[in-house]
Amino acid sequence: MTLPMRSRPREPALGEFTSAAQAAEYIGSHCLQAGPVGRVGLEIEAHCFDLTDPMRRPGWEELSDAIASVPALPGGSRITVEPGGAVELSGPPADAAPEAIIGLLADRAALRAAFARRGLGLVLLGTDPLRPTQRVNPGPRYQAMERFFAASGTAEAGAAMMTATASVQVNLDAGPQEGWAERVKLAHALGPTMIAVTANSPLLGARFTGWNSTRQWVWGQLDSARCGPILGGDDDPASDWARYALRAPVMLVHAPEALPVTNWVPFADWADGRAVLGGRRPTEADLDYHLTTLFPPVRPRRWLEIRYLDSVPDALWPAVVFTLTTLLDDSDATATATEATAPVADAWDRAARVGLADRRLHAAAVTCVQAAAERAPAELAESMGQLVRSVEQGRSPADDFADRVVAHGIAPAVRQLAEGEL
């Protein structure tokens, strides 16, 4: 969408924002919801592979038929399909991390069994290590996003992000308002350490990339105004988010179909009337939609949406989720994590490239996972023990997958994971 030239600004209609300041007030009043901590929502993405031919990417109809065959999931998760065919489970909020984990484990087992009956496997890796990027989800939003990335000069990275990455996402309550600044700051500070712990994407496009978390590298190739960390200097997460969102360029506009904006238009310019999109100023619905096209590593959505974890194996992700939740929700563990992560709070790229091979990241990770392990319930002891051992040895899941690839080749290694071999 190219901006039309106008001789004078059009007066805003009823329901449209009259200024960027008004839009900032709307964002600030809606981005976080005050209350106690404790509830946990989980989402996990898995790449879908043909068990007999891992190079083949299952199509949209095949995936839709497979999902239709899945019985009611015991944990109540919702099933969706990412642009490249990755299958996502989104669990309902639970009152605590163990309940959320147990529910999602049960749903993942049921989903895997249903897909296996159709000759399909669901693999937990941060990137698709084998197949070229290809969109299979025909949704108009994703078609428009492709056009946006092409116009912005990031077509390759955008395609990889949409069709070749997968994560474990943790959603946590925002907590009491007086603690928002420190809570959001710690959620960011934990990012590099947890990226190093969960790095599980050493390959992309059938080659080693030189990064333990290629997924994080892919996100780093996209516009930092849309995908970089939010933190500003106000010690006010709501103001930081409002400033970030208003500076970010508009990606899509409903007119009424989703249309890509192919020139750089910060949302603030649209709200202030310095730019015109869709022949009008933005509404609250436009702003809400704009916020869904921003992908920072920690995104406020009334709760905190933590987006920086690679998708990791079933043996590890329960411990990873419990660790992250404990470090943010348990006050004593929070104090430990705050001190441990301070020296590496900004080491995002280093964490993605070398992971736990970095001495300072390794030290922070050991302290953090040990603090969580001391508080883990019995039902998570096995997963927690495996995570502690791996971290103490300085190994991330990427090391294990890389060893498997070297020993067997990429396609056989993927097939082994798709068939459930550990």
Kindly give the interhelix angle for 381-392 and 317-329, rounded to the nearest 10 degrees: 90
Dist CA 397 CA 389 (whole Å): 12
Statement: residue 396 has pLDDT above 80 = yes
Statement: residue 159 has pLDDT above 50 = yes
**Residue from 312, 334, 335, 313 nearest 325 by CA:** 334
List the single range of 257-261, 283-287, 294-298 with lowest mean pLDDT.
257-261
Average pLDDT over residues 302-310: 97
Dist CA 361 CA 355 (whole Å): 7
- Give the predicted TM-score (pTM) of the model: 0.94
pLDDT value of residue 167: 98
Render pLDDT for 164-200 as a digit per residue (tens, 0 to 9): 999 999 999 999 999 999 999 999 999 999 999 999 9
Kindly give the interhelix angle for 180-198 and 331-341, rounded to the nearest 10 degrees: 60
pLDDT value of residue 231: 76
Statement: residue 414 has pLDDT above 70 = yes
Q: What tokens does 16 get?
A: 């449209």
Render pLDDT for 5-49 as a digit per residue (tens, 0 to 9): 343 455 666 689 999 999 999 999 999 999 999 999 999 999 999
Dist CA 234 CA 410 (whole Å): 47
Render pLDDT for 71-117 as a digit per residue (tens, 0 to 9): 999 999 999 999 999 999 999 999 999 999 999 999 999 999 999 99
